[in-house]
Structure 1
Amino acid sequence: MSVLLFSVRAICVFVWIILGLLSVVCIFPIAPLSVRAAMNHRWSQVLMWLCGVRVRILGEPVLDGAALWVANHVSWVDIFVLNSVRPMSFIAKSDIRRWPLIGWLVAGAGTVFIERGQRQAVRLVGEQMKTRFERGDVVGLFPEGTTSPGFDVMPFHSSLFDAALRAHVDIQPVALRFLHRGRRSDYVAFVGEQNLIQNLWCLLGTTQVVVEAEFLRVMDTGLCQEMGRSKVSSQAHRAIRDAVRSL
């Protein structure tokens, strides 16, 4: 059954990704930002449906104006889970850009890639974040810098919080919890030595995968200015960690 399910879903996902790439190449260059954002939003919703992932939204996400969504990181699907709530730009490690198909797709959709190890990387990414905030976008950040099994939250890197503080935008922590067949699980977590194909086998060959996206209280903007990036990062980490470990 898992082989048949995987085969059907894999074909559908492949076709959907190809259609997404065609949209990026043919439509995005001439479409206004609002149309591109709506297409990204709807495309992500359909992708999660094709993958068999049910997204359960808890709390009150910021749906208007510029904001920074700060989330824990469990899988490559995190990007599309959040994008299915509201279209956004993401900060992602440059390795993702080299992934076949998905890497090309997220690059064309406006993902900001950070080259680790380069001295100017944080500054360059900060400038791109500023541009997106100025046009009223949400930027998604995974400050752990890598994925985890999803039962806890690793320490945050605080450097990219600076751009949000300078722009005086809302910072909203988001806790992602993965469930498989009704229980918390790391079955589809993208961790360790697992490659993308192996992870797709797990995800597309199973059923009843749910991702809970709990949007926590927006952090007080004025207080964030007083605290500075390190304390803001620590407070966001604590809020997300408490929510991730709550069930």
Structure 2
Amino acid sequence: MLVSLFFPYCGLAARSAITVRWSRILLFFCGVRVKVSGKPISRGPALWVVNHVSWLDIFIIDSVRSVSFIAKSEIRHWPVIGWLVAGSGTVFIERGHRHAVRAVGQQMKTRFERGEIVGLFPEGTTSPGCDVAPFHSSLFDPAIRVNVDIQPLALRFFHRGRRSDYVAFVGEQTLLQNMWRLLGTTGVSVELEFLDVMSSDYCAQHGRAKVAAHAHHVVRQAIVRR
């Protein structure tokens, strides 16, 4: 109701506050505890890059600060979740289309100019969460071109006190099967760690390939060391 009736008519600050509050409520009712460490960028535009484990990732990060995520276009058609993330400003990328990266880059630039955070899962797919696949570098470029900082984030999932892939959205599961698995258990917790910011000057000096490689290195260190 909020997304359909209120979001189209309220400002960015109001939408952001609602998104943060609603994400926290959703996680509470799903039985997911979130522990945040590090220092997130609290004001102004930035690119947050994070390893990808579950559909929960979006709401976990949104519980700290409202983020416009870049997501594959298939998510738009997921029941309920797809509609919610579309309404809250997700940027969808049509993978395999020749001009997809350019179109998404323009949308990212618009959001940066409004002072927003853009969230990117540069692995391009979900994983069990115990390691990190190589990062694709193409969507680092729009952030570097407009001189915004880039901050890596690490998500570590636990089930009943131990690192686990229990609720990872991988393999042949459907979204509903994964949601049912989550709602049918207890003791799910997630550590969200905000890592050191890569300044816009650093990123401009080193270029997207090296920036992506460094971001991958620090995120992977944060994942495998625990």
TM-score > 0.5 by shorter chain: yes
SS at match of 1:35: helix
Q: Which residue number corresponds to residue 238 of structure 1?
A: 217
* Deviation, structure 1 residue 64: 0.8
Write the letter of the residue equivalent to 2:225.
S
* Deviation, structure 1 residue 71: 0.1
Q: Which residue number corresponds to residue 6 of structure 2?
A: 27
Among 193, 197, 207, the alignment partner of 2:176 is 197
Q: Which residue number corresponds to residue 216 of structure 1?
A: 195
Aligned mates of 1:59, 1:25 — CA distance in 2: 34
Aligned mates of 1:124, 1:220 — CA distance in 2: 25
Among 178, 203, 206, the alignment partner of 1:227 is 206
Aligned mates of 1:31, 1:224 — CA distance in 2: 34
SS at match of 1:211: strand
Q: Return the index of the structure with the highest Cα Rg.
A: 1
| 1:85-100 paired onto structure 2 within 5 Å | 85-100=64-79
**Any idea what the Cα deviations from partners look like across 1:3-39, whole Å, max 9, x if unmatched?**
xxxxxxxxxxxxxxxxxxx111111111111111111
RMSD: 0.7
Q: Which residue number corresponds to residue 132 of structure 1?
A: 111
SS at match of 1:103: helix
Aligned mates of 2:52, 2:35 — CA distance in 1: 16
Point out where structure 2 has 5 or more consecutive residues left out of the alignment.
none
Aligned mates of 2:220, 2:9 — CA distance in 1: 42
Is 1:43 matched with 2:9? no
Q: Which residue number corresponds to residue 184 of structure 1?
A: 163
| 1:146-165 paired onto structure 2 within 5 Å | 146-165=125-144
Write the letter of the residue equivalent to 2:52.
H
* Deviation, structure 1 residue 221: 2.2
SS at match of 1:178: strand
Aligned mates of 1:223, 1:40 — CA distance in 2: 31
* Deviation, structure 1 residue 100: 1.1
SS at match of 1:143: coil
Aligned mates of 2:159, 2:211 — CA distance in 1: 32
**Any idea what the Cα deviations from partners look like across 1:155-213, whole Å, max 9, x if unmatched?**
11100000110111110000100000000000000001111111112111111111100
- TM-score (structure 2 length as normaliser): 0.99
SS at match of 1:25: helix
Write the letter of the residue equivalent to 1:150.
G
Q: Percent identity?
A: 65
* Deviation, structure 1 residue 149: 0.2
Write the letter of the residue equivalent to 2:43.
D
